[in-house]
Amino acid sequence: MQLREYITAIVYPGEQSGYVAECQEISVVTQAESLDEIAQNLREAVALHLDGENLAEFGLDEHFSILTNQVGTIAK
């Protein structure tokens, strides 16, 4: 089985403000007020979710990356 080299996360505007990031391959969702914060929160949430896990069981390569795609914009 070929292991994936990345996890995909969709970043979209929050209902009232900020941004929400949701991973497609694993059960991780996080939110923040800025794109810089959402990137940091996403890295931390993924690390916590996978801490102590066998990455191969998730189909992930040991040196995976997080690929983000932004959908929509926040109206000012």
Q: What are phi and psi of 29, to 5 degrees?
A: -135, 140
pLDDT of residue 43: 96
Q: Is the pLDDT of residue 74 over 70?
A: no
Of 33 and 73, more confident: 33
Residue in the structure block whose two tokens are 């059960």: 27
Please tell me which residue, 35 or 74, carries the higher pLDDT value. 35
Residue 11, helix vs strand vs coil:
strand
CA–CA separation, 6 and 63 (whole Å): 8
List pLDDT tens digits, range 51-63. 999 999 999 999 9
Q: What is the model's pLDDT at position 26?
A: 95
What structural domains does the chain harbor? 4-70 (3.30.160.250)
How far apart (Å, rounded) are the C-alpha atoms in residues 14 and 63? 30
pLDDT at position 75 over 60:
no
